[in-house]
A and B are shown apart, each in its own frame.
Chain A
Amino acid sequence: MQTTVNVRSEKTNVSLWRKPISGIIKIVLLLYATITLYPLYWLIISAFKSNQEFFNRPYAWPQHWQIDNIIRAWDLGNMGRALLNSTIVTIAALALTIVLGMLAAYVLSRFPFRFSGVVKGMFLLGMLIPIHSTLVPLFIFMNKIGMLNTYWSLILPYTAFELPIAVFLGLAYLTSIPREVEEAAMIDGNGWWGIFGRIIFPLSLPIVATITILAFLRFWNDFSFALVFINSQALKTLPLSLSLFSDGFGTDYSLTMGAMFIAVIPTIVIYLIFQEQIMKGMVAGSVKG
């Protein structure tokens, strides 16, 4: 009897303290989140201001929301072209990464052959290669074979550096799919290609989704490969155009803000839709890489 009373009084004591403390913690957390999001908020409000307003009232909400900057950025800075280039390169590299990565993962998960250990080890090694250390040799190589300033100069390196993550995520997923499913299909007279296309690939769609989201963010945001391999105005991707934008229109800050707005909107929309997968997938990728 006595003990229960004691426990109860202790509990109320703790909860009395806990309320204000958890309130303070919540306020501190909100403050931290505000600081984290502020640069992005500032980018968005600045994109809708005139240059004069940008200088005079940098923190304030725009007096008149004007989309002039965004329209000018689209026309002057060739942002439309850059958006198209980024889309082409990203989609092509995504298709290659997914199809080739899943095929490789399927082979490595189902067919024990002599060199499978070596192949796995090599892909593992691929996750450890510092990407920037390959810029110079790849530049020399592409220069020799005339690949610089083509979409392929981005598509192929993107695919090469994303394949290890795709293969390992795919491999881990496929080992969990029971083989009976394929044996049944085998009896129905499907070849390996048919089994892959009709059964394995559709079954792996959840992991394909994760790979797609991760690869999309990497390809869409890549700066260093585009910086080194692309020179021609017509082929510049979004991040590359943005970096040159700030040089070209030095003091026209709200114009650059407009251009950045165009570039961040697709990633933010995708983040808002797929945040859970992005968080988990990126952690899996970074821990392995």
Chain B
Amino acid sequence: MPASLRSRSFVIMALLPALLIFILFAIVPIFWSAYYGFFDWKGLGAAKFVGINNYRLMLEDPIFWRALKNNLILVASAIVGQVPIALLLSLLLLKNTMFNRLMRSAVFLPMVLSTVVVGLIWGYIYHPQIGLLNQLLETLGLESWSRPWLSDPKINMLAVSIPINWANIGPYLIIFIAALQNISSEIDDAAKIDGAVGWRKLFSVTLPMIWGTVVVTIVLCISGSLKAFDHVIVMTGGGPAQSTELLATYMYNNTFTVYRYGYGSAVSTMIIIISAMLIGLNYILTKRRG
């Protein structure tokens, strides 16, 4: 009996600190933001209960929809940019040679840089006067192509998406290489015997074998895009005229630049709801596949 008591006290004492920090700083905030989302509150003075008014205002605000659309642009650019590039690179860098290892390291490197550094460097690359990109176009005699990349509302979301893609190709590359190396050599041999080589092998053997991984990476692109915040805050702050606003920056700007704490909480809750819906969708899709 005393031994079991002792192990019970160990379980409690060893688990409690981790659980407390985790619940207090990661789980409880979700409920708070749901709660504050029903109030009109400037951060000072009394909070006024307004029911679902914040959500109504949000759904009526064209900037909210633009932010959502910009998030979707990031998803689309990741799916047509990161995934195919990473897949192509993984096919070329599959073998564990010295050269290929170096290439993989190079492609992965931007991933470990601070998002602030990535945002600042690309801010300079896109700079209208001193930017590398416009200067390069000038050198090539393509002055007419040069433009203020981050302030022209027609292209600035695309311009913003490129550094994000640049920084995030690495993990997808490693995921694809792992998946390709998992294809057993027996299947490889069988394909060879059946005469499937080159393109034919790629499309009728290799790609179908790793299709599950492709689906996983697409899901990662979607959830990754909801996390986008730092690059945009550093490069554009959501501007000009809120043209590059994302859901997270929309929440941040409403809360910390115009001090609508209640409204910001409602947007936070909306982000959680949208993520939960995506996770649910992902669950259904993967379950059907399995």
Contacts and interface: CB of A to CB of B under 8 A. Distances in A.
Interface in A96-155: 96, 100-101, 103-104, 106-108, 111, 113, 119, 122-123, 125-126, 128-141, 143
B272 interface: yes
Contacts of A192: 6-7, 10, 14
Q: Is the interface of B mostly helix, strand, loop or mixed?
A: helix
A131 B10 CA distance: 31
Interface stretch (A1-9, A62-70, A72-80, A160-168): A160-168
Interface stretch (B28-36, B149-157, B181-189): B28-36
B227 A260 contact: no
Q: Is the interface of A mostly helix, strand, loop or mixed?
A: helix
A10 B21 CA distance: 65
A42 B248 CA distance: 30
Nearest to B35: A137
B22 A122 contact: yes
Given A133-B268, A134-B268, A193-B10, A25 B116 contact: no
A106 B14 contact: yes
Contacts of B120: 242-243, 246, 256, 260
Given A122-B23, A128-B275, A156-B21, A136 B7 contact: no
Interface residues of A, number: 89
Contacts of A96: 21
A223 B230 contact: yes
B123 to A, nearest CB: 7
B114 A253 contact: no
Contact of B15 (A104, A140, A270): A104
Contacts of B18: 100-101, 103-104, 163, 167
A239 B116 contact: yes
A283 B109 contact: no
A156 to B, nearest CB: 5
A20 B174 CA distance: 27
**Residue from A136, A163, A280 having most chain B Cβ neighbours under 10 A:** A136
B113 A40 contact: yes
A61 interface: no
B108 interface: yes
A206 interface: no
Contacts of A163: 18, 21-22, 26
A160 B261 contact: no
A3 to B, nearest CB: 15
Interface stretch (B61-69, B204-212, B251-259): B251-259
**Residue from A123, A134, A137, A192 having most chain B Cβ neighbours under 10 A:** A137
B272 A283 contact: no
25 contacts: A43-B121, A58-B132, A103-B15, A108-B15, A122-B22, A125-B27, A126-B26, A132-B248, A133-B271, A134-B26, A134-B33, A136-B251, A137-B33, A160-B22, A163-B21, A217-B112, A221-B113, A224-B229, A263-B117, A268-B112, A278-B108, A279-B174, A282-B171, A283-B178, A287-B216
Interface of A: 25-26, 29-30, 32-33, 36-37, 39-40, 42-43, 54-55, 58-59, 96, 100-101, 103-104, 106-108, 111, 113, 119, 122-123, 125-126, 128-141, 143, 156-157, 159-161, 163-164, 167, 191-193, 196, 217, 220-221, 223-224, 227-228, 238-240, 242-243, 246, 253, 256, 260, 263-264, 267-268, 270-271, 275, 278-280, 282-283, 286-287, 289
Given A223-B116, A264-B114, 12 more contacts: A36-B166, A100-B18, A106-B14, A122-B23, A137-B30, A137-B268, A138-B25, A156-B21, A221-B114, A239-B114, A275-B108, A282-B171
- Nearest 9 A-B pairs (CB), nearest first? A160-B25, A137-B32, A137-B29, A100-B18, A192-B10, A221-B114, A104-B18, A134-B29, A132-B248
